Amino acid sequence: MEKRSTDSQVKGVSTGTTILAAVYDGGVVIGSDSRASIGGDYVSSKTINKLIQVHDRIFACIAGSLADAQAVTKAAKSHLSFHSVQMETPPLVVAAASVLKELCYRNKEELQAGFITAGWDRKNGPQVYVVSLGGMLISQPVTIAGSGSTYIYGYVDAKYKPNMSREQCLQFATNALALAMGRDNVSGGVVHLVVITEEGVEHVVVPGDKLPRFHDE
């Protein structure tokens, strides 16, 4: 038992997780569960908010090492704040995703963190970008990641529609996260959702006892 505890401490705290982002007609929804784990089998926290606001209408959702992800998002916030002052305009979503990509790529040997970046800007409207562990950047209308995502690829492929309404997209995101949390032992807690539109940002929290159930747990 002692050896297992030592191994877990070496691995550090990870957001063993399910994260998601989806574009709908007029905005984007980004969401996650709230658990953090150590060593992949011990849940160290049930109350982590993995949705990090890096600028007014841009959020990053984190997966991987919690310490690495927090360090990267802190650096990205500083960079984007300076950029917006220098340019006298809010940064584009792709610019924020590119900053995260560059930070991950330059430090790929040391970092174990990946991100979903989602937001709204006046040039391209609602957008979603995936930044992989090694610093690859991909634009997609909907994406999922984390340990729980392996359980819901079929659901996401079958249920996502690009022109959904706000309410439909929120329900889609909640259902997808609930399905993953029901199967993945290190995804769970509550569902954090953020809706990003031209009008602003709205935070939604769905408690665990209010999540939809699709099977006996």
Which residues are designated catalytic? 17
What are the beta bridge partners of residue 116? 61, 130
Our CA angle for 103, 89, 82, nearest 5°, is 40
The structure tokens listed for 174 are 């909640």
**Comparing C-alpha atoms, which of 146, 64, 132, 60 is closest to residue 96?**
60
Q: Which amino acid is at 181?
A: M
Pairing label, strands 113-121, 58-64: antiparallel
Say how many residues make up the chain.
217
- Whole-angstrom Cα distance, residue 156 to residue 78? 34
Q: For the purposes of burial, counting CB atoms within 10 Å of the CB of 87, is it exposed (0-12), middle (13-18) or buried (19 or more)?
A: exposed
- Alpha-carbon separation of residue 60 from 4, 51, 96, 208 (angstroms): 32, 6, 9, 22
Which residues, including other chains, have CB under 8 Å from residue 24's CB and lie 6 or more apart? Answer: 126, 162, 163, 164, 165, 166, 168, 169
The token pair that represents 205 in the structure block: 């929290």
